Amino acid sequence: MKRVIRFRYVVMILFLCSSVLFSQKLPTGAFHDNRPRDYDIHHYKAELEFDFENRKVTGTITIKLTPLRELNSFSLDAIGMRIQSVSGVAGMTFKSTSTTIDLTLPQSKMPKDTMAIVINYECNPQGGIYFRRDQNNTKLFYVSTYGEGGLHANWLPIYNDVNDKFSTEMIVAVPPPYVVIANGELLDQSTRSNGKVAYHWLQKLPHPNYLISIYIGDFEKGDLAPAFGEIPLSYWVPRGRLAEGAYAFRNSTKMIEYFSRRFNYRYPWVKYDQIAVPDYAIGAMEHTGVTGHRASVLRDASAPDDFGPPALEEITSPWSAEATISHEAAHHWFGNSLTCRNLSYIWLNESFASYLMMLWDEESLGQDQLRYSVLVAKDHYFRFVRNHHMIRGLEHHNFDNTNAIYNTEHTYLKGAAVLHMLRAVLGDEPYFRALSHYLHKHEYSNVISEDLKIAIEEATGENLHWFFDDWIANGGHPNFEVSYRYLAEKKSIDLNVSQVQPIVKGQDLFKLPVKITIATPSRTWQERVWVENESARFSFSCNEKPLMVSFDGEGDLIAEAKFNKDADELIYQAKHDAVPGRIGAIRELSNHFPVDNRTAAALSEIIASNAFWAVRAEAALSLGSVRTPAAQQALEVALKANDYRIRKGAVLALPKFGVAIAEPRLKQVITKDAHTDVVAAAILALAQANPKQDPSFIARQLGRKSWYDEITIACVRAFGVLKNVSMLATIKSYSDNRYNQDVRLAALQGWADLAPADKELQKTLLDLTHSPVYALQQAAIGMLGSLQVKDATARLQAIVEADADANLSVPAREALAEIERAQK
């Protein structure tokens, strides 16, 4: 007995050691379940007026609702509201708390008793609605709303969760020249005796509260071709920017028609408006039929693909403007019609919208771009797991602030890749037929993961319990070790596959189909095998010694694989495999055989070829690991490529060649390159290549005309790298309200890098906790904590107590803890 126990003790210690080594864990936080409801809302009507200067809302709302059981009293969510009157049921009384209106009925009401409750109120909202002053005309405002994660109870007394859907009606009066855009159809627009114009919008089909929205501004409207010749599509931009709107949104009609066809389910809403708002709260938000975008979406053909902030340290970002536009359009099926039942299932909204943006890539740019978009998404996810040691299922119930459940790398990027993998498991025809069935079956209702699983089962007969267990309920991904031998006498290939990922809570062994591509001098073919055990051996007959054995070269799987190969095979693969396999081989080749002459020669050949752009860009980027004279020559070829993304790959490689080579060449690029994205990347690369340089060359680039001021963003970020205090006054000046939020964020970070104890910085950050620019509010709270600003305690406590937005109050609590730690 004792022996056994001692043995188990040894095993346990080994297990602990290995889990410390890898230490992947599940995130923690409060458990979220479906919120129980007392009533069902049928229709929600709001009549609103605003005092922009004082950020004040005055409203009358009428809610038609039915009790779901016998009710004597019930509550609406209403954060920080001053309630003036409540009517609709004779004898009803109310009590207001900091987060609710509690209504008491004179006698109990039953599920047959539909009520229409009227509430008059006013408030100065701490979230959900943002009053942004125009950067050029301080008398003008942009008012926009952002409801994701339960923020609307800050400006509307409402049921503030996703599991109730109802029609909505907004009547908003504004003085000219403002216009109001909201969900649904514009029923009426009339001038009142006080000169204000009332806009009356009706959203007939039911939707959850977070998708309610209004946008107010001095917008100009542009029309796109109606979808199917019937459904109106428009875009609204700040005055003077119509041409950029026409360019940015040029493909929206095709997107709506494509998704309708792909899922055999026509766009169900009456119209589609897209609004470009300066410093919009979040990248973009799919409010039903009326998507809000950051103004960085606006552009002409000279802009990079990026949406913002500019990707200055990578060839590309998963969030191109086109991807963001298609993502929000896609939500109108997945998210707005079928809505997660609580935020723990948010993947059913976000992973889908993120995969649909890749489907639009496939439709508009081809299969190579789809596979590359999936690869970029997986790269981001793998990096996140490596840096944060955090894994979780796509369905995940434990979180405190909503940002945690919206975690981009899991919910968006890994989620999209999981849906791509599911397509590989089922095959195209059954996959899209199953998703069409899922859409039709659950239209306008709430869904959980199981609903999707059952819909697939009903449509295809497949029980995917194992897949949902591995990828939806659990987290992580397989790490494969792969090797093969060619047995000439048996004319066969022996392939060994092991799963070596740590087995920890939330991550076990995985079951997956794998495509193996085999190339010989006379033919190329594919084998499909299933991997599910810790290790497996497969045998394929093969008459000649293979030139390449590629494991998941099409990149269908979310898996990391260690597959040691010689340089000859990697070169063959880099030139001939599918795009993900080629990129993988390019990375392996440059990392493992940097000084082998064949490496630079192969990369050079790929750069000069007409291969898919990302393969060429990756080859250019990989020259940074090679750094031989031949690599330098290949770099020159890449710097002259027509496609700016290939030149950008070369720019990102340059700092690795050392200051003597990098500095003059980057300065040349900055002066001469025709694309602002290449210039911007080169400015930051120049600072990284030589952090001790005189900042005057970079300072001369400030203010150069570019999409979204990306060159100025690069300069300000570069000053943060140079840490030269002579630039402090310049950096500070870019934190001003005249600049877009990404310029300002770069300035704040640079300021903190150069003068972390500056009292003026502390005051600026404190002021920014009141900013109408959501990203600045969040950044300021975080920085007050990391800079341990004692004077911020009272303000941070007020944010915690207001409890208006968990994405502010939870970080404020964390910042307070950091400040407290500093004082100990």
Q: Which stretch binds Zn ion (CB under 5 A): 133-141, 237-245, 352-360, 754-762?
A: 352-360
Owner of token pair 């609204």: 236
CA–CA distance, 548 with 571 (Å, rounded to integer): 9
Query: Nearer to Zn ion by C-beta: 39 or 333?
Result: 333
Instruction: Tell me: does residue 721 bind Zn ion (CB under 5 A).
Output: no
Q: Which stretch binds Zn ion (CB under 5 A): 348-356, 367-375, 713-721, 781-789?
A: 348-356
Q: How far is CA 762 from the centre of its chain?
A: 30
Token pair of 358 as six digits: 């890749």
Backbone torsions φ then ψ of 132, nearest 5 degrees? -100, 125
E runs forming strands in 163-213: 165-174, 179-182, 185-191, 197-208
Instruction: Tell me: does residue 377 bind Zn ion (CB under 5 A).
Output: no
CA–CA distance, 269 with 207 (Å, rounded to integer): 11
Instruction: Tell me: does residue 346 bind Zn ion (CB under 5 A).
Output: no
Shortest spacing between CB 349 and Zn ion, in angstroms: 6
> Which residue in 90, 88, 94, 146 sits closest to 118, CA to CA?
88
Shortest spacing between CB 415 and Zn ion, in angstroms: 10
Asked if 749 contacts 778 with a C-beta cutoff of 8 angstroms, the reply is no
**What DSSP letter does each residue of 233-258 carry, written as one string?**
EEEEEETT-HHHHHHHTTTHHHHHHH
Q: What are the residues whose beta carbons fall under 8 Å from the beta carbon of 771, sequence distance 6 or more?
A: 777, 780
Query: Nearer to Zn ion by C-beta: 394 or 504?
Result: 394
Query: Nearer to Zn ion by C-beta: 353 or 731?
Result: 353
Q: Which long-range contacts (CB under 8 A, 24 or more apart) does 612-616 make?
A: 612/368, 612/369, 612/372, 612/579, 613/643, 613/645, 613/646, 614/315, 614/316, 614/368, 614/372, 614/579, 614/583, 614/645, 615/579, 615/582, 615/583, 615/586, 616/641, 616/643, 616/646, 616/649
Query: Nearer to Zn ion by C-beta: 353 or 626?
Result: 353
Query: Nearer to Zn ion by C-beta: 311 or 353?
Result: 353
Shortest spacing between CB 141 and Zn ion, in angstroms: 26
Shortest spacing between CB 211 and Zn ion, in angstroms: 11
Q: Which stretch binds Zn ion (CB under 5 A): 349-357, 520-528, 547-555, 587-595?
A: 349-357
Query: Nearer to Zn ion by C-beta: 255 or 635?
Result: 255
Shortest spacing between CB 253 and Zn ion, in angstroms: 20
CA–CA distance, 609 with 607 (Å, rounded to integer): 6
Instruction: Tell me: does residue 516 bind Zn ion (CB under 5 A).
Output: no
Element (H, E) at 720: helix 710-722
Query: Nearer to Zn ion by C-beta: 255 or 641?
Result: 255
Number of residues lying near Zn ion (CB under 5 A): 2
> Which residue in 190, 207, 206, 209 sits closest to 198, CA to CA?
190
Query: Nearer to Zn ion by C-beta: 329 or 353?
Result: 353
Instruction: Tell me: does residue 413 bind Zn ion (CB under 5 A).
Output: no
Shortest spacing between CB 489 and Zn ion, in angstroms: 56
Shortest spacing between CB 350 and Zn ion, in angstroms: 5
Tell me how many degrees the CA angle 649-587-685 measures, rounded to the nearest 5.
30
Instruction: Tell me: does residue 78 bind Zn ion (CB under 5 A).
Output: no
Shortest spacing between CB 730 and Zn ion, in angstroms: 37
Query: Nearer to Zn ion by C-beta: 269 or 510?
Result: 269
Shortest spacing between CB 331 and Zn ion, in angstroms: 6
Instruction: Tell me: does residue 789 bind Zn ion (CB under 5 A).
Output: no
Query: Nearer to Zn ion by C-beta: 354 or 507?
Result: 354
Query: Nearer to Zn ion by C-beta: 286 or 677?
Result: 286
Shortest spacing between CB 325 and Zn ion, in angstroms: 12
Query: Nearer to Zn ion by C-beta: 357 or 589?
Result: 357
Instruction: Tell me: does residue 353 bind Zn ion (CB under 5 A).
Output: yes
Cis peptide upstream of residue 629 (ω within 30 degrees of 0): no
CA–CA distance, 117 with 63 (Å, rounded to integer): 5
Shortest spacing between CB 327 and Zn ion, in angstroms: 5
Q: Which stretch binds Zn ion (CB under 5 A): 342-350, 490-498, 577-585, 661-669?
A: 342-350
Query: Nearer to Zn ion by C-beta: 86 or 346?
Result: 346
Classify residue 188 as left (phi > 0), alpha (psi -120 to 50) or beta.
beta
Query: Nearer to Zn ion by C-beta: 325 or 631?
Result: 325
Element (H, E) at 626: helix 613-626
Q: In the sheet that 93-96 helps form, which strands lie side by side, from edge to edge?
A: 71-77, 100-109, 93-96
> Which residue in 287, 230, 289 sits closest to 257, CA to CA?
230
Q: Which stretch binds Zn ion (CB under 5 A): 62-70, 138-146, 346-354, 680-688?
A: 346-354
Instruction: Tell me: does residue 557 bind Zn ion (CB under 5 A).
Output: no
CA–CA distance, 729 with 763 (Å, rounded to integer): 16
Q: Which stretch binds Zn ion (CB under 5 A): 344-352, 525-533, 636-644, 796-804?
A: 344-352
Instruction: Tell me: does residue 329 bind Zn ion (CB under 5 A).
Output: no
Instruction: Tell me: does residue 211 bind Zn ion (CB under 5 A).
Output: no
Q: Which stretch binds Zn ion (CB under 5 A): 126-134, 222-230, 347-355, 621-629?
A: 347-355
Token pair of 380 as six digits: 């981001």
Query: Nearer to Zn ion by C-beta: 353 or 426?
Result: 353
- Give the dihedral sign, CA 532/533/535/539: negative
Element (H, E) at 213: none
Tell me how many degrees the CA angle 313-317-322 measures, rounded to the nearest 5.
145
Shortest spacing between CB 277 and Zn ion, in angstroms: 17
CA–CA distance, 386 with 547 (Å, rounded to integer): 32
- The residue number whose beta carbon is nearest to Zn ion equals 353
Query: Nearer to Zn ion by C-beta: 272 or 572?
Result: 272
Shortest spacing between CB 718 and Zn ion, in angstroms: 32
Q: What is the SS3 string spanning 388-404?
A: HCECCCCCCCECCCHHH
Token pair of 331 as six digits: 């939500």
Instruction: Tell me: does residue 357 bind Zn ion (CB under 5 A).
Output: no
Shortest spacing between CB 411 and Zn ion, in angstroms: 9
Shortest spacing between CB 352 and Zn ion, in angstroms: 9
> Which residue in 60, 403, 54 sits closest to 198, CA to CA?
60
Shortest spacing between CB 148 and Zn ion, in angstroms: 8
Bridge partners, residue 480, by sequence: 499, 561
For Zn ion, the binding residues (CB under 5 A) are 350, 353
